[in-house]
């Protein structure tokens, strides 16, 4: 029995064994033992940060507007004409500001609606969100880091020349990518595709055991349980052996899955740990600038990327929304250097002096023979290049035969919606697999509002009946694919730090397309008749919320 089958077969037995041993309540015992699981005792979440986050600002502004309206009617009736003139002038000024902004057209319409209906509330909220209070320093740090590292990994001219000869369109995309960061194109890289989270986790454990020098982990979600417990046991043991271990996770874990002092507790195990953008009272915009990336780098020669976080639902150990369908890739070879750099840029954001060259110079152990090209890349919300969306658009615009997509969310701007429709209208087979069981009712209802226009243009939409699809996959024409963290929604395309792996001409592209076909067999195609049978609440909720979709 191979290692992947072993973990799938024995995960329930392992969980039972761990539970009987009582490890879920341990603090710091048996770190190097053979039990195979290590959990820190759960602490208190940072709930105060949530109470004083962006949500509180929105509620306070809304209540202030309501209070002023009632106060004006009751106590200042004679000043109502003057107040009306002031609000009209405010509306006019904000309309001019919005029309001259660089926002997406859909976002402009949303803000116009909010401001015209509630001038004081809308204008104040707009100025608050656009001012980036609490994040200005981070924006400057990101810009400085990008500029300093723009050419840290040199582009191999021979690789670029071969790509230009093989596919000029992809080479043009690479040149565009270099505007946003240090994202060269590589050959000599082997990519393994995992069609389910359990397989990625099992291979992670195998590769982590091989670590000799350093381990870098950057994940949006870390949740205590079987998956993270097995990983943490290895990390703690490796740190004790002298391997440098760094863990970076997003600040929203502070109130959702981990205690606010979790970094300090990991440090006691010899693991360096940082929280990206902790929630700051009254200053956190909450969903803006979250670190949604999933990166694991081992010794500079092996990396993992994809949609799979470090929590039990991602390996179907804890059923949450039916069967959890997710995907990931393992990269071995030259391209791993880009993921190493991406991690270090985020980790070193607040450090004036940081070491890069030692980690980037690590031997990549390129495979003897591989064909094709690999481009790891990241998308940053503080620059003007919406790289994640541009890569998807490039695939849609250059496809000749098919584009097959898996995504958990479908909240589109005009440009992406038009590109999907245009590709289908010019004869490209565009298919989208969506969840059959939603994790967020609002997002699911919003997605349904895009179905009719897409279906009318010829896009085929399927829903995964066994459960929830969390995969972020584009595959096209048997030669191009993207697997990463980037959803088809405003959060991923506009507000989050993201990353993905672009593949051209690799053998594993066939595996990705095969997985899409096999997944589609477990789906039900969405039809007009089926949409009419959607629950009334969903048919009302979706169109109503579409007005403010960019703000959700």
Q: Are residues 289 and 267 in the same domain?
A: yes
**Mean pLDDT along residues 231-243:** 97
Spatial distance between the Cα atoms of 468 and 320, rounded to a whole number of angstroms:
9
Strand-pair category, 496-504 with 373-379: antiparallel
Spatial distance between the Cα atoms of 464 and 323, rounded to a whole number of angstroms:
9
In which band, very low, low, confident or very high, does the pLDDT at 349 lie, cut at 50, 70 and 90? confident
Higher per-residue pLDDT: 532 or 116: 532
Q: Are residues 203 and 237 in the same domain?
A: yes
Is the distance from CB of 231 to CB of 330 less than 8 angstroms? no
Q: Are residues 42 and 84 in the same domain?
A: no
Is the distance from CB of 393 to CB of 417 less than 8 angstroms? no
Question: What average pLDDT is seen over the chain?
Answer: 85
Supply the pLDDT for residue 13.
Answer: 33
Q: At 160, which helix (H) or strand (E)? A: helix 157-166
What tens digit of pLDDT does each residue of 32-80 get? 334 456 666 555 555 444 444 444 555 665 666 667 666 666 666 666 6
What tens digit of pLDDT does each residue of 146-159 get? 778 888 999 999 99
In percent, the amount of the chain with pLDDT more than 90 equals 59
Spatial distance between the Cα atoms of 492 and 381, rounded to a whole number of angstroms:
9
Tell me the HSE value of 272 on the side-chain side, using a 13 A CA sphere: 13
* Number of structural domains found in the chain: 3
> Considering 346, 378, 410, which residue would you say is the last residue of a domain?
378
Q: Are residues 362 and 421 in the same domain?
A: no
Supply the pLDDT for residue 99.
Answer: 82
> Considering 131, 163, 180, which residue would you say is the last residue of a domain?
131
Spatial distance between the Cα atoms of 8 and 63, rounded to a whole number of angstroms:
52
Tell me the HSE value of 521 on the side-chain side, using a 13 A CA sphere: 5
Q: Are residues 161 and 306 in the same domain?
A: yes
Question: Does the pLDDT at position 205 exceed 80?
Answer: yes
Question: Does the pLDDT at position 22 exceed 50?
Answer: no
Q: What is the pTM of this model?
A: 0.85
Question: Any bridge partners for residue 275, and if so which?
Answer: 249
Q: Are residues 76 and 173 in the same domain?
A: no
Question: Does the pLDDT at position 525 exceed 90?
Answer: yes
Question: Does the pLDDT at position 433 exceed 60?
Answer: yes
Supply the pLDDT for residue 87.
Answer: 75
CA 173 distance to own-chain centroid: 21
**Mean pLDDT along residues 459-481:** 98
Q: State in Å, rounded, how far the first CA of the chain is from the last one.
A: 46
- The count of other CB atoms within 10 Å of the CB of residue 508 is 18
Q: Are residues 62 and 169 in the same domain?
A: no
Which of 126-140, 294-308, 419-433 is least confident? 126-140
CATH code, domain carrying 457: 3.30.870.10
Supply the pLDDT for residue 31.
Answer: 36
Is the distance from CB of 211 to CB of 243 less than 8 angstroms? yes
Spatial distance between the Cα atoms of 129 and 289, rounded to a whole number of angstroms:
12
What tens digit of pLDDT does each residue of 479-514 get? 999 999 999 999 899 889 999 999 999 999 999 999
Q: Are residues 99 and 27 in the same domain?
A: no
What tens digit of pLDDT does each residue of 80-138 get? 676 677 778 888 888 888 888 877 787 888 888 888 777 777 787 787 777 666 566 67
In the block, tokens 């009209």 appear at: 88
3-class DSSP state of 483: strand
- The count of other CB atoms within 10 Å of the CB of residue 465 is 13
Burial class for 57, CB neighbours closer than 10 Å (0-12, 13-18, 19+) = buried
Q: Are residues 228 and 363 in the same domain?
A: yes
Q: Are residues 352 and 487 in the same domain?
A: no
What tens digit of pLDDT does each residue of 354-381 get? 899 999 988 777 676 678 999 999 998 8
Burial per residue of 309-332, b for 16 or more beta-carbon CB atoms within 10 angstroms, e otherwise? bbbbbbbbbeeebebbbbbbbbbb
Q: Which runs of E-coded beta strand occur in 171-251?
A: 189-194, 214-219, 244-250
Q: Are residues 312 and 391 in the same domain?
A: no
Tell me the HSE value of 498 on the side-chain side, using a 13 A CA sphere: 30
Tokens of 150: 């723009």
In which band, very low, low, confident or very high, does the pLDDT at 451 lie, cut at 50, 70 and 90? very high
Higher per-residue pLDDT: 150 or 426: 426
| Domain range enclosing 412 | 387-551
Q: Are residues 436 and 491 in the same domain?
A: yes
Strand-pair category, 402-406 with 214-219: unpaired
Spatial distance between the Cα atoms of 516 and 518, rounded to a whole number of angstroms:
5
* DSSP secondary structure letter of residue 250: E
> Considering 344, 378, 412, which residue would you say is the last residue of a domain?
378
């Amino acid at each position: 029995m191979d290692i992947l089958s072993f973990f799938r077969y024995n995960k329930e037995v392992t969980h039972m064994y761990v539970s009987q041993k009582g490890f879920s309540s341990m603090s710091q015992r048996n770190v190097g033992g053979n039990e195979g699981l290590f959990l820190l005792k759960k602490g208190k979440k940072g709930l105060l940060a949530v109470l004083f986050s962006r949500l509180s600002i929105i509620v306070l502004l809304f209540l202030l507007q309501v209070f002023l309206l009632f106060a004006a009617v009751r106590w200042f009736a004679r000043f109502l004409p003057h107040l009306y003139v002031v609000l009209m002038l405010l509306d006019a000024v904000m309309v001019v500001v919005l029309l001259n902004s660089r926002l997406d057209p859909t976002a402009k319409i949303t803000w116009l609606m909010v401001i015209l209906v509630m001038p004081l509330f809308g204008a104040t909220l707009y100025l608050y969100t656009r001012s980036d209070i609490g994040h200005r320093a981070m924006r400057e740090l990101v810009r400085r880091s990008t500029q300093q590292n723009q050419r840290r990994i040199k582009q191999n001219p021979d690789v670029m020349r071969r790509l230009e000869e093989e596919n000029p369109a992809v080479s043009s995309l690479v040149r565009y990518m270099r505007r946003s960061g240090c994202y060269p194109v590589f050959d000599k890289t082997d990519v393994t595709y995992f069609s389910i989270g359990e397989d990625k986790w099992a291979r992670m454990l195998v590769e982590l055991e091989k670590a000799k020098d350093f381990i870098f982990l950057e994940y949006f979600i870390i949740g205590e349980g079987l998956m993270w417990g097995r990983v943490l046991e290895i990390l703690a043991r490796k740190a004790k052996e002298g391997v440098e271990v760094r863990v970076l996770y997003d600040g929203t874990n502070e109130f959702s899955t981990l205690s606010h002092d979790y970094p300090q507790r990991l440090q006691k195990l010899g693991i360096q740990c940082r929280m990206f953008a902790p929630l700051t009272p009254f200053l956190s915009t909450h969903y803006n600038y979250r670190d949604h990336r999933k990166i694991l780098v081992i010794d500079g020669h092996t990396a993992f990327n994809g949609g799979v976080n470090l929590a039990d639902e991602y390996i179907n150990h804890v059923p949450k929304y039916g069967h959890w369908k997710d995907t990931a890739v393992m990269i071995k070879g030259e391209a791993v250097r880009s993921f190493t750099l991406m991690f270090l840029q985020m980790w070193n954001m607040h450090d004036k002096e940081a070491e890069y060259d030692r980690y980037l110079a690590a031997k990549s152990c390129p495979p003897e023979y591989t064909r094709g090209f690999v481009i790891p890349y990241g998308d940053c919300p503080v620059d003007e290049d919406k790289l994640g969306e541009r890569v998807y658009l490039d695939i849609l615009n250059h496809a000749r035969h098919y584009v097959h997509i898996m995504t958990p969310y479908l909240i589109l701007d005009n440009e992406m919606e038009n590109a999907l429709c245009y590709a289908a209208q010019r004869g490209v087979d565009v298919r989208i697999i969506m969840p059959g069981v939603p994790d967020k009712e609002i997002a699911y209802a919003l997605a349904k509002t895009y179905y009719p226009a897409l279906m009318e243009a010829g896009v085929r939409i399927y829903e995964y009946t066994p459960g929830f699809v969390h995969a972020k996959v584009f595959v096209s024409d048997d030669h191009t694919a993207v697997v990463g963290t980037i959803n088809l929604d405003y959060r991923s395309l506009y507000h989050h730090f993201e990353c993905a792996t672009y593949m051209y001409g690799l053998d594993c592209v066939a595996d990705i397309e095969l997985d899409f076909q096999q997944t589609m067999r477990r789906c039900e195609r969405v039809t007009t008749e089926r949409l009419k049978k959607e629950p009334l609440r969903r048919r009302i909720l979706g169109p109503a919320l579409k007005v403010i979709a960019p703000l959700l």
